Structures are given as structure tokens and as C-alpha cells.
Chains A and B, each alone.
Chain A
Amino acid sequence: MHLVYPAVLAALLFCVGLYGVLARRNAILVLMSVELMLNAVNLNLVAFDVWLRDTLHAGQALTLFTIAIAAAEIGIGLAIVLQVYRNRGTADVDRLRDLDEDAHRPDPERADREEKAEAAA
């Protein structure tokens, strides 16, 4: 088999996942797209391992490790998303903008409170 077939399929799958990560709004759909990207990398690892006939089979071992790390990542990621949903009532990534500077600038009451806290300290 030509190596081009798995390599091109992996590149295209990676780009589909890239689009999903950038364009999706729900955090769980973003996690699904991350899984697609990880799987594209796995396909590359397996294809190059079979091509190189590595005696250590580093590609296949790394694929197994990637799969295990992806499982750990999805568990932690979903736990974080659940926690965010409990605190905010939403899992939309573009509504979580506490670090946005423009959203907080004109808020004198908050500045007052912070000054008081500093004075008390």
C-alpha cells in the first residue's frame, strides 16, 4: 500500500478536527474534535511504524500511550466541563470570558470593594 493514503487521510482528519475545535461553541463538541485530531496522529504513527518495520515498534507503543492519555484527558476534560456547567449554567466556550479586559473595565463598585479589601489587609 502506498504510504500516501494513510498520511493524506490523517492530514485531512486532523484538519477536520482543527475546524471543529475552532468553530464549535459547546465545550463537549470541542472535546470531540480534539479526539478526532488525536486519532489522526494515531493513524500516522501506525502507518509509519508499519512502513519502517521498527523492531521496537515505537509507533504502535506510542499509539497505545496516546490512546490511554486521550482517555485520561477526556475524563478530566468532562469533569471540568461539568464543574463549569454547575457554576455558570452553560457549557458554551464563548460565554466564558472572565479574562476579557473590556468586560470588566467600567466597574467602579468593584474597584471600591477591592480598595477596601486592600485597606483591610
Chain B
Amino acid sequence: MTGSAMLAAQANGFLSPSGVEIAFLLVGIATLGAAVVTVTTKQLVHAALWLVLALGGLAVEYLLLTAEFIAWVQVLIYVGSVVVLLLFGLMLTKAPIGRSPDADSANRWPAIGVAVAAAAALVWVVVDAFRTTWIDLRGAPQGSTKVSGEILFRHWVLPFEALSVLLLAALVGAIVLSRRKKEER
């Protein structure tokens, strides 16, 4: 790490957080809480609605990190289409409305153990590695639509086009998979 970054990190201690850090922390707590409710609630439709809150909170975090374009893509794709798809999936598989006591399988406690162990290991490693790293958010936003458009269509054109082919293949595949065969009709 360079000396100036070290100085910046020392000048911005954990005990005197900046305004954007406080906002990030509050939205992060809300996001994490919504995520926990998403994976623990017994009501299947409510899980999808809590997922909206978690993904929307992440969009706000992207805004706080000055990645504006990603934030709006997150709102459009995740909140707008993925959650709607999930809700349609719940409807089409006749998910029960109301509490379903068998929403969690029998390996709930091993799952809690694995998740807590992974969280402890990851948080320990991450905090130990990036304790003094400081993100400088001043200056022009790094993820505005102009910047994103320039990098996407100047440096990342080939992956971008390959991805559009992948999306088309996925779309056709989903239609073929979910279509009823002739004799079933």
C-alpha cells in the first residue's frame, strides 16, 4: 500500500465515521436483515417480497459507492424482472399461501453451522486484510452512465456481444423447456 493511502486510512479512523459510511452501515443492516428474513421466513411469497427489499438495499449501496449505472441496472433487472419471475414460479408451482411448516429441510442445523463457520472465516480474513484500506469517493463518479457506456463499448464489446448471444440462447432454452409437448395437450 502506498504511503498516502496509509495516511488517509489513519486520518479516517473507525471511531469517527463519515456521513456516507453511516448511511452505508444503516442501509447495510437493513439489507442484511431483509436477506436473513428471506431465507428464514415460512411464508414463500413473503420470502420473494423480502428479497425485493434486500436487492433494493444493495442498489442503494451501489449508489453510495458512486456506481450509478449498476444501481439502476440492479433495480431494473433484479427488482423488476427476476423477482417477478420468481413470483410467477411460485404461483405456477402452486406454492401455499400462508405459513408452510416444511419450508426448511432437515439439515437446517448443519446449514447454520456451515454458514456461521464460513461467515466467521470470511469476515476474519477480510477485516484482517483490508483493515486500513480507504476508498476515495471524491471526484467524478466512477460508475456514471457515460463512463459505463464508454468502457462497455470501447473495451468490453466482444464479451458484451457474446453475452447477448448467451441471453438469447437462455431465452430460447427456457421456452423450449417450459413448453408442453403436443400429446400432453
A-to-B contact residues, CB < 8 Å: 1-9, 11-20, 22-26, 28-29, 31-33, 35-36, 39, 42-43, 46-47, 49-51, 53, 56-57, 60-61, 63-65, 67-76, 78-83, 85, 91-94
Residues of A within 8 A of B104 (CB): 23-25
Residues of A within 8 A of B70 (CB): 42, 46, 60, 63-64, 67
**In the complex, which of the residues B95, B130, B133 has the most CB atoms of chain A within 10 Å of its own CB atom?**
B130
A51-B133 contact given A23-B105, A35-B51, CB 8 Å threshold: yes
Residue among A39, A78, A80 making CB contact with B86, cutoff 8 Å: A78
Residue among A28, A61, A73 making CB contact with B151, cutoff 8 Å: A61
Kindly provide the distance from the CB of A40 to the nearest chain B CB, expressed in whole angstroms: 9
**In the complex, which of the residues B93, B95, B107, B123 has the most CB atoms of chain A within 10 Å of its own CB atom?**
B93
CA distance A74 to B86 in the complex (A): 8
B-to-A contact residues, CB < 8 Å: 9, 12, 14, 18, 20-21, 24-25, 28, 31-32, 35-36, 38-39, 44, 47-48, 51, 54-55, 58, 61-62, 64-67, 69-70, 73-74, 77-78, 81-82, 85-86, 88-90, 92-95, 102-108, 110-112, 114-116, 118-119, 122-123, 126-127, 130-131, 133-137, 142-143, 147-148, 151-152, 155-156, 159-160, 163, 166-167, 170-171, 173-175, 177-178
User: Across the interface, do B143 and A60 meet the contact criterion of CB distance under 8 Å?
Assistant: yes
A60-B67 contact given A3-B130, A16-B39, A18-B115, CB 8 Å threshold: yes
User: Across the interface, do A36 and B54 meet the contact criterion of CB distance under 8 Å?
Assistant: yes
User: Across the interface, do B93 and A85 meet the contact criterion of CB distance under 8 Å?
Assistant: yes
Interface SS of A by simple majority: helix
User: Across the interface, do B111 and A35 meet the contact criterion of CB distance under 8 Å?
Assistant: no
Name the residue on A nearest B130 (C-beta). A3
CA distance A64 to B153 in the complex (A): 13
Beyond the given A50-B67, A67-B78, A75-B170, please list 20 additional residue pairs across the A-B interface where CB-CB is below 8 A. Answer: A2-B21, A4-B127, A4-B131, A8-B127, A9-B31, A12-B123, A13-B58, A15-B119, A18-B118, A25-B104, A28-B44, A43-B61, A49-B143, A69-B166, A71-B77, A71-B81, A79-B177, A82-B89, A83-B178, A94-B105
Residues of A within 8 A of B82 (CB): 35, 70-71, 74
